[in-house]
Amino acid sequence: MRAPHPVVVVHGGAGDVPVERHAEAVEGCRRAARAGLEVLLAGGSALDAAQRAVEVLEDDPLFNAGTGACLTEAGEIELDASVMEGTGLRAGAVAALPPFRNPVRIARAVLEEGRHVMMSGPGAAAFARSMGFEPADPESMITEASRRRLETWKQGRAEAGWAGGTVGAVACDASGRLAAATSTGGRVGKRPGRVGDSPVPGAGTFADDEAGACSCTGDGEAILRVGLARLAVDLLRVGLHADEAARAAIATLGRRVGGTGGLVLLDRRGRFAACWNTRTMSHAVARAGQPVVGDIVAPLQDV
Ligand code: GLY
């Protein structure tokens, strides 16, 4: 097999983002992909790179993750995030985590500690504090836009449960190691305690050096039911090209459970694909020696 290409692919969430905000979201994805690539070029692992890219998106209030996360029906932030590396199939996740600035870092701490794969709610917060993470002042993470989205949802003017703006990244390093990371505030107006696909290995996030890596976005309940990230990677495993696998997985999401969403996918050689069945999914790709490009492929039609 030829040497893998170091690459970072990020998404800023599937949804229906107006043109002017979509351009900003693509720019945010480009910044995140570049930051992830810098980690790879400095000798970091695929896992370090995917995590770094997601941190950048969590810090960007434009996206529904970390700062700017959407609010529960009680007006609070509850965060879901996960990381997975494809060499040892190690994973770490937090679910329904109260406000901490970078939940993906806490997911990484869960992975590194290795005792459990997923921590939730108050237990996740206690774990984070024990690992030296400081809880954030909720007011510092709640944006005017997220308050407005909740108000709109309460007035019944927004689609119940829309999960636009979830963020994620997949990375391949020069050794061919693969990793994926995903982070979200979930869906607007969700019940407190609701957990979506993003922290669940195999649903929102999956990586296996023997096949590929995937991060998903969209309707979490539907993505959980089809195990979307694992489905896409397994389609690579049986020999589909990344583009075919991504399309087939999203087609399954639509056909089997009527789900909407998207994903970014990498194969073992660092060949990538992005696919979605919503109107928009901001995304970007960073490869060594090449300009960072955003919005490279068109959405999947007819699913
Ligand atoms: N895909 C994000 C969520 O539904 O929570």
Angle at 44 between CA 81 and CA 249, to 5 degrees: 45
Mutation probe of ligand 1 site: the residue of 54, 72, 80 with most atoms within 8 A of C-beta: 80
Number of other CB atoms surrounding residue 157 within 10 Å:
8
pLDDT at 296: 73
Q: 80 CA distance to ligand 1 centroid (A)?
A: 8
- Indicate which residue's Cα is closest to atom 5 of ligand 1: 186
The CATH code of domain 7-295 reads 3.60.20.30
Per-residue DSSP letters for 63-95?
A: SSSSTT----TTS---EEEEEEETTTTEEEEEE
First to last CA, the chain: 34
Q: 187 CA distance to ligand 1 centroid (A)?
A: 6
> Would you say the CB of residue 196 lies under 6 angstroms from ligand 1?
yes
Stretches where the chain sits below pLDDT 50 are 160-161, 300-303
List, for residues 82-96, the tens digit of each pLDDT value: 999 999 999 999 999
Which atom from ligand 1 is nearest to the alpha carbon of 223? 1
pLDDT at 1: 58
Q: For the chain, which residues make up each domain, given as ranges? A: 7-295
pLDDT at 19: 81
Which atom from ligand 1 is nearest to the alpha carbon of 221? 4
pLDDT at 160: 45
- Indicate which residue's Cα is closest to atom 4 of ligand 1: 220
pLDDT at 17: 85
> Would you say the CB of residue 163 lies under 6 angstroms from ligand 1?
yes
Mutation probe of ligand 1 site: the residue of 78, 79, 219, 263 with most atoms within 8 A of C-beta: 219
Question: Exposed/middle/buried for 225, CB within 10 Å: 0-12, 13-18, 19+?
Answer: middle
List, for residues 131-151, the tens digit of each pLDDT value: 999 999 999 999 999 999 999
| Distance of alpha carbon 287 from alpha carbon 211, whole angstroms | 20
- Catalytic positions: 166
pLDDT at 2: 63
> Would you say the CB of residue 217 lies under 6 angstroms from ligand 1?
yes
Residue carrying the six token digits 């009527």: 258
